[in-house]
């Protein structure tokens, strides 16, 4: 069975500062990795995903995540955050053959001016 | 544009009532999912469906049932609501295939059971 750990429940940062949201997973089989974002009063939407190939994946709004197989991690980073990035971020994992997503407990990113 | 809609944003019910949560997707997706979201617990899968009239239990199916009579519609049913079912309920859909498919989520229904 897979599991996902997001150690930080809340990360406060100032606008234009860099941020890293940590995600570690455990699985005995090959997996795909996802980051979903939930803006206030909305459902989740996909931010980025790792399927194969380059271990560094990017989103259209400046976030990136790096798949590290040896450390079983998929940390999310952004070099300079905006107020509008305030949201809850969920890391998730699925088996390659089966579409059941297992989510972490989420990290609330709070960006202040 | 991809769209998943849920019948209510907020719902207040009494203990013991039968509750229906409806979800509709307009993307012709084969798979549909129901999650509940609780603070500190993230999202947990209740049930999913990979085809009309097909359903599979997720991680926390107790106290819930589902119905999928049409491809675009997936209903979650609380047979006898209890206070511990107070939560945010999220519906999602995706194309058939392996684990690489993106799930598209509705805006959620916040259910309060008194």
Q: Assign A89 a pLDDT band (cuts: 50, 70, 90).
A: very high
- Comparing alpha-carbon positions, the chain B residue that sits nearest to A30 is B99
Interface of B with A in 23-42 (CB under 8 A): 31, 40-42
Exposure string for A59-70, b = 16+ CB within 10 A, e = fewer:
beeebebebeee
- Answer whether residue B8 shows pLDDT above 80: yes
**Which of B99, B103, B108 has its CB closest to that of A97?**
B99
Closest by CA to A2, choosing from A55, A57, A74, A65, is A74
Distance from CA of B87 to the nearest CA of A (A): 14
**Which of B42, B92, B97 has its CB closest to that of A105?**
B42
- The two three-digit tokens of residue B82, written as one number: 């209890």
Contact A45, A36 (CB under 8 A): yes
**Which of A42, A44, A99 has its CB closest to that of B94?**
A99
The helix/strand/coil state of B101 is: coil
- Is A95 part of the contact surface with chain B (CB cutoff 8 Å)? yes
Give the pLDDT score at A15. Answer: 97
- Answer whether residue A52 shows pLDDT above 90: no
pLDDT tens for A78-87 read 999 999 999 9
Q: Assign A96 a pLDDT band (cuts: 50, 70, 90).
A: confident
**Which of B31, B40, B102 has its CB closest to that of A46?**
B102
- Comparing alpha-carbon positions, the chain B residue that sits nearest to A104 is B42
| C-alpha distances out from residue A98 to A69, A95, A109, B101, Å | 20, 5, 30, 10
- Comparing alpha-carbon positions, the chain A residue that sits nearest to B48 is A100
Mean pLDDT of the A43-48 span: 94
- Answer whether residue A64 shows pLDDT above 90: yes
- Answer whether residue A98 shows pLDDT above 80: no
| Alpha-carbon span A9 to A36, nearest angstrom | 15
Which residues in chain A are contacts of B98 at CB distance < 8 A?
96-99
- Answer whether residue A77 shows pLDDT above 90: yes
Q: Assign A44 a pLDDT band (cuts: 50, 70, 90).
A: very high
pLDDT tens for B12-46 read 999 999 999 999 999 999 999 999 999 989 999 99
Q: Do A43 and B97 touch (CB under 8 A)?
A: no
pLDDT tens for B52-111 read 989 999 999 999 999 999 999 999 999 999 999 999 999 999 998 778 889 999 999 999
Which residues in chain A are contacts of B43 at CB distance < 8 A?
44, 90, 101, 103
Give the pLDDT score at A99. Answer: 74
Which residues in chain B are contacts of A100 at CB distance < 8 A?
45, 48, 58, 99
| Alpha-carbon span A1 to A23, nearest angstrom | 17
């Amino acid at each position: 069975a897979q599991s996902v750990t997001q150690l930080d429940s809340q990360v406060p940062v100032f606008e234009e500062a860099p941020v890293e949201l940590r995600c570690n997973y455990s699985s005995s089989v090959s997996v795909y990795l996802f980051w979903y974002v939930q803006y206030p009063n909305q459902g989740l939407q996909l931010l980025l995903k790792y399927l194969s190939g380059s271990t560094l994946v990017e989103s259209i709004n400046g976030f990136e995540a790096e798949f590290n197989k040896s450390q079983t991690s998929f940390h999310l980073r952004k070099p300079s955050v905006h107020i509008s990035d305030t949201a809850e971020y969920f890391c998730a994992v699925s088996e390659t053959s089966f579409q059941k997503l297992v989510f972490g407990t989420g990290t609330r990113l709070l960006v202040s001016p | 544009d991809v769209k998943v809609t849920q019948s209510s944003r907020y719902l207040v019910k009494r203990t013991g009532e039968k509750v229906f949560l409806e979800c509709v997707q307009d993307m012709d997706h084969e798979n549909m999912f129901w999650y509940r979201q609780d603070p500190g617990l993230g999202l947990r899968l209740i049930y999913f469906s990979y085809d009309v009239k097909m359903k599979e239990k997720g991680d926390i199916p107790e106290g819930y049932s589902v119905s999928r009579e049409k491809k675009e519609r997936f209903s979650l049913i609380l047979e006898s609501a209890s206070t511990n079912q107070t939560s945010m309920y999220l519906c999602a859909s995706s194309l058939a295939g392996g684990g690489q498919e993106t799930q598209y989520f509705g805006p959620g229904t916040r259910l309060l059971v008194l």
